[in-house]
Amino acid sequence: MKIYDCVIIGAGVAGMTAAIYLKRAGLDFVLLEKGVPGGQINKSSNIENYPGFKKVDGPTLAFNIYEQIENLGVVYKYGDVKEIKDSDNHKVVCTEQEEYITKTIIIATGRKPRELGLDNEKKLLGSGISYCAYCDGMLYKNKDVIIIGGGNSALEEALYIADIANKVYIVHRSSEYRADEVLIDKVNKKENIIKYFNKEVIEILENNDKFSGVKLNDESIINADGLFIYIGQIPETNFINTIDKTKDGYIVTNEHLKTTDDKIYASGDVLKKDLYQIATSIGEGALAASNVIKILK
Ligand SMILES: Cc1cc2nc3c(=O)[nH]c(=O)nc-3n(C[C@H](O)[C@H](O)[C@H](O)COP(=O)(O)OP(=O)(O)OC[C@H]3O[C@@H](n4cnc5c(N)ncnc54)[C@H](O)[C@@H]3O)c2cc1C
């Protein structure tokens, strides 16, 4: 059976950057992705802090990077990785369909949205509840929506949807936002954004199997047509339990981005780090790849 030099798991910005470096070094590898290339940036309507682009939407940036790896001839395959096993001196990356034997692995599986954990949240996903304003915002033209959260993502997407919807209610559980000043300023200037601080959603309301509003911890109700949840992210690391992780699931590495397994590296939002951004994830993708190149050559 074929033995790859490396398998990259996840084609977000970190994984695709690693792919550019491995390909240019002439390594034989495969890039596996369970969703669409670009990962989280596909959910971002407006990126203004990535150098080289004064302003770009996430899907455009994702497509540009994807086009770059396609032109280089990177082998990109659909694959939802379920397990990593040992076999002799190699690793085996297992998806439901296939197994890939490899000398090294770069894990770049990023993060997914944290759920509120309320009763009907899963049931109403797609029926008024979403984790991506940029993907579903147009469904709420001239309607009222609620955004839960107070970080950069929540405010960015509130601003995006405020240009489409009638009213946008931002419900945040603290007394101030944890976001860039530039975003807070813009939110403060938007007349159709209504801000709730120190409030938590305790119940999701529905009508005929569709989202209809929320009940807050002071028992007040906000009626709306859509709910967008931005209360943080959790790392996608359930498929691996043989390396050190933090108690919340982030992968632990040394400064070379090597995990506690000599053959496994990690990069991007899956790492425990101070800043979860495109710029940092791209840097880590490049660093993990360059260290894999070093050990293989
Ligand atoms: C709404 C929003 C707005 C944002 N705005 C900005 C911004 O303006 N500027 C900025 O710098 N950053 C922004 N960010 C953050 C930025 O998008 C992330 O930091 C960055 O994209 C992380 O890239 P990544 O490659 O590490 O992970 P991800 O983008 O999470 O990619 C990981 C990929 O791995 C895949 N994957 C996961 N598990 C598996 C598996 N088991 N098998 C196969 N594939 C798997 C996923 O499908 C995904 O495609 C924003 C994020 C969000 C959600």
pLDDT in tens, 119-156: 999 999 999 999 999 889 999 999 999 999 999 999 99
Q: Is the CB of 32 under 6 A from ligand 1?
A: yes
Kindly state the helix (H) or strand (E) to which residue 264 belongs, with its residue range.
strand 264-266
Q: Could you tell me where in the chain the CATH 3.50.50.60 domains are found? A: 3-113+233-296, 129-229
**Rounded Cα–Cα distance for residues 112 and 246 (Å):** 17
Q: What pLDDT digit, counting tens, does each position of 30-47 carry?
A: 999 999 999 999 988 889
Dihedrals phi, psi of 84, to nearest 5 degrees: -120, 125
**Contact in structure between 204 and 120 (CB atoms under 8 Å):** yes
Per-residue pLDDT reduced to its tens digit, 223-278: 999 999 999 999 999 999 999 999 999 999 999 999 999 999 999 999 999 999 99
For residue 258 and ligand 1, the question of a CB distance below 6 A is answered with: no
Superfamily of domain 3-113+233-296: FAD/NAD(P)-binding domain (3.50.50.60)
State if residue 214 touches ligand 1 by the CB under 6 angstroms criterion.
no
Residue 1: its pLDDT value, please?
86
91: β partners: 86, 102
* Interval between CA 9 and ligand 1 midpoint (Å): 13
pTM to 2 decimals? Answer: 0.92
| Cβ 93 vs Cβ 6: under 8 Å | no
Ligand 1 atom with the smallest distance to the CA of 15 is 25
Which of 9, 44, 237 best tests ligand 1's pocket when mutated (most atoms within 8 Å of CB)? Answer: 44
Whole-angstrom Cα distance, residue 241 to residue 264?
Answer: 12
pLDDT of residue 200: 96
In the block, residue with structure tokens 């002071």: 218
Q: Is the pLDDT of residue 173 over 90?
A: yes
Residue with CA at minimum distance from ligand 1 atom 17: 41
pLDDT at 290 over 90: yes
Determine the Cα–Cα distance for residues 234 and 226; give it in Å rounded to an integer: 23
How many angstroms separate the first and last alpha carbons of the chain? 22
Q: What are phi and psi of 134, to 5 degrees?
A: -65, -35
Ligand 1 pocket test target in 8, 13, 16, 40 with most atoms within 8 Å of CB: 40
Domain at 129-229: CATH architecture: 3-Layer(bba) Sandwich (3.50)
Ligand 1 neighbour 237 (Cβ under 6 A): no
> Cα separation of 26 and 220, whole Å?
61
What whole-number percentage of the chain has pLDDT above 70?
Answer: 100
